[in-house]
Amino acid sequence: MASASEPAYFAKARQAGRPVVRDLPKFDLDAYIANYKGKTRFERLLHIGTTSTLLAPEALRYAVAEAKQGRDIRRYDAAVSAIREIMPGDRNATADVAWKEKVQKQIKAESDRLETELKGYKNNLIKESIRMGYDDLGQHYHRTGELVESVKAFGRMRDFCTTSSHVVVMNLRLISVSIDQGNWLAVQTNVQKLRSPGQQFAEAQRLAAKLSAAMGLALLASGNYREAAQEFIDTDPRMTQARLDDPTDEEAFNEVMTPNDVAVYGGLCALASMDRTDLQKKILENNKFRSYLEFEPHIRRAITFFVSSKFSLCLSILDSYRSDYLLDIHLQPHLGELYFQIRSKAIQQYFVPFSCATFTALGAAFDTDEQTIEQELTDMVKRGSLDAHLDLVDRVLVARTLDARRNVHEHALQMVKEYERTAHLLILQTEMVHGALEVADKGKALGSSIALDHIGGGEQLYGNSSAAPFSGEGSGRSLRSGLRG
């Protein structure tokens, strides 16, 4: 139930099933958002403002200010609309019409100028100038929020790329726009083009960290958590040395994510999809990924506790950061599933040594009540992730027992049948060799044709009239002994 001071917007959002965060996150908003730049900076502010009841006023005001620093009018309208719904009395709830008209005129003038220049380049038939013209036009459309037109402009650069560096730049532009569009298939396609074994791009090797991070984000958005974890784990640590406050630093990727995000995304995906052996080898003993975990030490602690079978400590750390992760624009849609898979793995591992366990004991082990643990166990059994059944009368989780004796007998009988079949085929082959029978193979088309020359009866039986018959030496030799049984 919404509190008296909570805006009606969040009550409606909760009724619609959208996450609403009422707790204060662990991060400071100013320090957090200072690490990002470009479109993701605005999108994260807007997401926080429409999700957190406590940070909404500050985040939305920052979002309006961020939108007015650019030329994307759609962003500005989205921020103003959110303020109007959440804080109708705020001075930013009314759109700045004069600013919008001014920006629209500037956008039109810039678009006309760039298109005129591009026409001139095409008339001169200078490939490099045409490529740069399309590049400038694509970046202009990207800045103004015309993402579809931006993709078209960058795509048309392909025919005018004369060096490998031009191809790399074009694909990086397409990756950036595709991430903003949420077109994750296009992100994966363009990353794979730069990773193609048939074409080695020196610039792509230098940008390997960005490519791994982009691919990991695309796989995370697609729900492929194990492969996403592997991509984040393999991300080159050079990104950790980037200066996020320096816009000229080519190692930075903060127009999409920061090293902190790589650590969190990679750690959560790994916990949800890898067993304890893989977590130990691929995470805790991985020197490359350790550089990222230093930015988020609580993720390393959670993984260490999970590997050490201290599941309650691991889950308590994750629960304490749940509000922070719900405010992450990329994690929020997947957080429920990630947390469910992590808890499911923990419960599975905890239950392995037992034949049965009471709901009370499981609830105490995982720091929750009986009703909650019962619902979790029910979901796990329905999904097939827990091989057990629930005794709701005695309130006990009972492991399914396997009849080992029966399994051994069935396996032995199956082996006997396979042995008999193999022996029969060997006897048949031996009798054919003794009977000097040969199969004439005249191509695959006649491979199934069979002809038997029964010398004792003087008959020829052909499976196909075009096939050569069997030839036999001696008289009265047959396959009766081979076919016996």
How do residues 89-112 score in pLDDT, each as one tens digit?
Answer: 889 889 999 999 999 999 999 999
CA angle 39, 119, 193 (to 5 degrees): 50
Residue 303 near residue 270 (C-beta atoms within 8 A): yes
End-to-end CA distance of the chain: 78
State the Cα–Cα distance between residues 227 and 91, nearest whole angstrom.
46
Helix, coil or strand: residue 299: helix
List the structure tokens of 316: 């308590």
- What are the phi and psi torsion angles at 406 (to 5°)? -65, -40
**Residue 241 DSSP one-character state:** G
State the Cα–Cα distance between residues 286 and 93, nearest whole angstrom.
49
State the Cα–Cα distance between residues 306 and 81, nearest whole angstrom.
44
How much is the pLDDT for 144? 92
Q: Name every residue whose Cβ is closer than 8 Å to that of residue 429 and which is 6 or more positions away in sequence.
A: none
State the Cα–Cα distance between residues 156 and 71, nearest whole angstrom.
24
How much is the pLDDT for 233? 95
pTM for the complete prediction?
0.78
Nearest to 72 by CA among 127, 141, 120: 141
How much is the pLDDT for 441? 55
Helix spans in 182-321 (H): 184-195, 202-206, 208-221, 225-233, 259-273, 276-278, 287-293, 297-307, 311-320
- What are the phi and psi torsion angles at 126 (to 5°)? -100, 110
How much is the pLDDT for 199? 66
How much is the pLDDT for 460? 40
State the Cα–Cα distance between residues 194 and 215, nearest whole angstrom.
12
Q: Which residues of 284-310 are buried (b: 16+ CB within 10 A; e: fewer)?
A: eebeebebbbebbebbbebbbbbbeee
Regions of the chain with pLDDT less than 70: 1-5, 198-202, 247, 401-403, 438-485
CB-neighbour burial class of residue 55 (10 A; exposed 0-12, middle 13-18, buried 19+)? buried
- DSSP run (H or E) holding 371: helix 370-383
- What are the phi and psi torsion angles at 391 (to 5°)? -100, 95
Please name the amino acid found at residue 54: L
Separation in Å, CA 135 to CA 245, 291, 363, 437: 25, 35, 58, 75
